[in-house]
Amino acid sequence: KAAIKQFKHYACIFMLTTLRNRFTVQLFSKSFKASLNFGLFNILFKSMSKKTALVIVTNGTEEIEAVTTADVLVRGDVDVTIAGLESADAVTCSRNVRIQPHASLASVADRAFDCVVLPGGLPGAKAFAASLPVKALLERHYAAGGIVAAICAASIALESHAFLPGSTVTSHPSVRDQLKSYNYSEERVCVAADGRLVTSRGPGTAFEFALKLVELLQGREKADSLVGPMLLKI
């Protein structure tokens, strides 16, 4: 009898231990799945919520302005797409540097971006000014709450497309007289329309221009954090 009683005792302990272990494994499994699912959701959410910018390039675009702006935006955790005005083929910039766009403007025109950037370079700026797709993009993008940014001679595209006339803008001095619909400023970077129209002057102001865009998209702290590592004196 004592042996039977002892057997029942150990059998009971074994059953309870097995149940406890199975319950623990199930809890761990559910917890792990929940943690994994939350992690994947967090990654997906961050990806979906990441700020985006479109930099349009074409033959004759000023390469310093295009590349500096794109580079600084990427450093500021902005997802940058470089689009070719006419196609996705490589473009030859104003100083014969070639840039390979990620896509054509036509293929990304319907996507939503937080910021659209027009680099300067007079031949490229004239192409933007003559482009109806650029006009439609700027109007649709601004109406959706996005930022429009133009540097150097690209401000003439704003004039050509009658984009926010009466705003305060700047540009390269060589095209100042063409901006008759605007209040002209000689600031190195000019912000108007409640922070949604940003213009700048030329290659020498490209870093300031790009940092201002990072500030507007990601906050002042993020923009300031980029200055030191790039050894800028601004």
Residue 213 amino acid letter: L
Q: What is the DSSP letter of 234?
A: -
Give yes or no: 65 in active site. Answer: yes
Dist CA 151 CA 78 (whole Å): 19
Give yes or no: 172 in active site. Answer: yes
- Residue 187 and residue 179 in contact, taking contact as beta carbons nearer than 8 Å: no
- Residue 114 and residue 51 in contact, taking contact as beta carbons nearer than 8 Å: yes
Say which of 62, 65, 208, 215 is annotated catalytic.
65
Closest CA to 200 of 62, 54, 65: 65
Say which of 172, 190, 208, 215 is annotated catalytic.
172
Give the count of alpha carbons within 13 A of 136, CB side only.
Answer: 9
Burial class of residue 116 (count of CB atoms within 10 Å of its CB; 0-12, 13-18, 19+) = buried
| Rg for the chain, CA atoms, rounded | 28
Say which of 63, 152, 159, 208 is annotated catalytic.
152
Catalytic residue positions, numbered: 65, 152, 172
